[in-house]
Amino acid sequence: MWLPILGLLLGIGIGSTLAIPIPGIYAKYLSVAVLAALDSVFGGLRSIIEDKFDGTVLLTGFFTNAMLAALLAYMGDRLGVDLYLAAVFVFGVRIFQNLAIIRREMLANWMQKRNLSALGAKKDG
Amino acid sequence: MDNVKKWRTPVLIVFLLLGVLISVQFHAQQIFRSDLSLQSTDDLTLILKGLQDKRANLEKELQDLEQQQQALNSDTTNGASLARNLTKESNQLEIAFGLIPVKGPGITVTIPPDSNIVYLDLVDIINELWSSQAEAISINDQRITAWTTIYWNKEKMTITVNGADITFPCTIKAIGNPDTLEAGLRLLGGVLDNLAVYKIYPVVQRSSELDLPGAAPPVFHYLQPVQ
């Protein structure tokens, strides 16, 4: 259960120690990639809770989403269209949706454990 | 929760990569913020204006400080020249008052021992020397100044100059033009002629270099300058 958090901390540590220099102009695309990655991660968490988890889908989604988002943002810059904003909007909305679903599911599980009606919580949501 | 094994590895990988991404992006963003070429024009204008104001202020401060320095420098120069002038003046006054030792050409008048001399004779000689344009006079290393006393000490039975007893042979030194000084003493019917009447024959010698001592400075208790 705590392994993912440990992995996250380890990743942050590796990133800080490596301190890979990113040229300022690419920082924007990297930020979109991070947003896409976050979206994939929350999607994965949601699928775990919903018992629909597939490791392949998560991994491919993680990489392709991040890369496509960065690529699209770059293309948008080249074409003079702010696709960057579209990516921010879409991923932002999806992250909040996923978070809301995760919260509801967890709340429902918790209610079930306390032998209370899960239906009531689901109706409220 | 049986399928923990199923999702553990992919989720670990994903979280690890997410951590790396986040920290790299964090660093990049920090660099981005401190990079001027990536700031918006408005921000750059603001920064430029702020720096220009700062620069103007600093330039003004620099000017003020330079002016201050100049003022201080001129003060120092004034002070130094004032001090020089004061030293010069004080030196001249000390010379005029006979407070510091002096040297120069002049004559020496030696009165031999066992002379039947009285203190008025000494006063006569000194007066004659002053009127012959002597610039400094001493008797037996007692400098003659404005407050010098020459009198007969009845108790000790000696002539006293500045409170010091005169021993013989008595030497009177005078700085000035040796010719003028000697001529003044040897004037017909002058001091030496008068002394000769009493069989006193002082020896007059010319000197190219005489050393006269300085007198002790006077102490004033009541005196005050009139403004």
Domain boundary among B77, B97, B117: B97
Cβ contact A38:B44 at 8 Å: no
Together in a domain, B196 and B119: yes
Together in a domain, B121 and B205: yes
Together in a domain, B135 and B174: yes
pLDDT value at residue A93: 93
pLDDT digits (tens, 9 = 90+) for A81-112: 888 888 889 899 999 999 999 888 888 888 88
Which positions of chain B have pLDDT values less than 70? 1-4, 38
pLDDT value at residue A115: 63
ipTM of this complex: 0.76
CA B5 – CA B142 distance, rounded (Å): 122
Prediction pTM value:
0.45
Together in a domain, B113 and B199: yes
pLDDT value at residue B26: 83
Q: CA distances (Å), B64 to each of B6, B10, B52, B61, B115, in order?
A: 77, 69, 18, 5, 79
pLDDT value at residue A125: 47
Domain boundary among B73, B97, B121: B97
Report strand pairing: B150-153 vs B158-161: antiparallel
pLDDT value at residue B38: 67
Together in a domain, B105 and B92: no
pLDDT value at residue B88: 92
User: Virtual CA dihedral for A77, A80, A84, A86, nearest 10 degrees?
Assistant: -160
Residue B92 domain flag: yes
pLDDT value at residue A1: 65
**For range A8-13, the mean pLDDT:** 86
Residue B149 domain flag: yes
Of chain A, the percentage scoring pLDDT greater than 90 comes to 7
Together in a domain, B78 and B179: no
Together in a domain, B124 and B178: yes
B139: CATH: 3.30.70.1880
Give the H or E element holding residue B139: strand B136-139
CB contact under 8 A, A41 and B14: yes
Together in a domain, B126 and B171: yes
Residue B21 domain flag: no
Domain boundary among B51, B81, B97: B97
Torsion sign, CA atoms B159, B165, B167, B170: negative
Which structure tokens are listed for B144? 């003659």
pLDDT value at residue B52: 95
Instruction: Check if B27 contacts A (Cβ < 8 Å).
Output: yes
Residues of A in Cβ contact (< 8 Å) with B38: 24-25
Instruction: Check if B12 contacts A (Cβ < 8 Å).
Output: yes
Residue B7 domain flag: no
pLDDT value at residue A97: 92
Residues in chain A: 125
Together in a domain, B160 and B124: yes
CB contact under 8 A, A59 and B8: no
pLDDT value at residue B1: 47
CB contact under 8 A, A15 and B22: yes
The distance of B46 to chain A (nearest Cα, Å) reads 21
Residue B29 domain flag: no
pLDDT at A24 over 80: no
Instruction: Check if A53 contacts B (Cβ < 8 Å).
Output: yes
pLDDT digits (tens, 9 = 90+) for B150-191: 888 888 778 888 888 888 788 889 998 888 888 888 888 888
Together in a domain, B116 and B208: yes
Q: Which residue of A has its CA nearest to B15?
A: A8
CB contact under 8 A, A62 and B21: no
pLDDT digits (tens, 9 = 90+) for B66-86: 999 999 999 888 888 999 999
Residue B20 domain flag: no
Domain count, chain B: 2
Residues of A in Cβ contact (< 8 Å) with B26: 15
Residue B143 domain flag: yes
Instruction: Check if A12 contacts B (Cβ < 8 Å).
Output: yes
Q: Which domain holds residue B66?
A: 40-97
CB contact under 8 A, A58 and B15: no
Instruction: Check if A5 contacts B (Cβ < 8 Å).
Output: yes
DSSP string for residues in A98-120: HHHHHHHHHHHHHHHHTT--HHH
DSSP A97: H
Q: How many CB atoms lie within 10 A of CB B226?
A: 3
Paired with B173 in beta bridges are B108, B138
Paired with B212 in beta bridges are B102
pLDDT value at residue A117: 53
Nearest to B23 by CA among A17, A83, A71, A75: A17
Together in a domain, B120 and B190: yes
Residues of A in Cβ contact (< 8 Å) with B12: 3-4, 7
Residue B35 domain flag: no
Quick one: B55 exposed, middle or buried, by C-beta within 10 A (0-12, 13-18, 19+)? Answer: exposed
Together in a domain, B190 and B160: yes
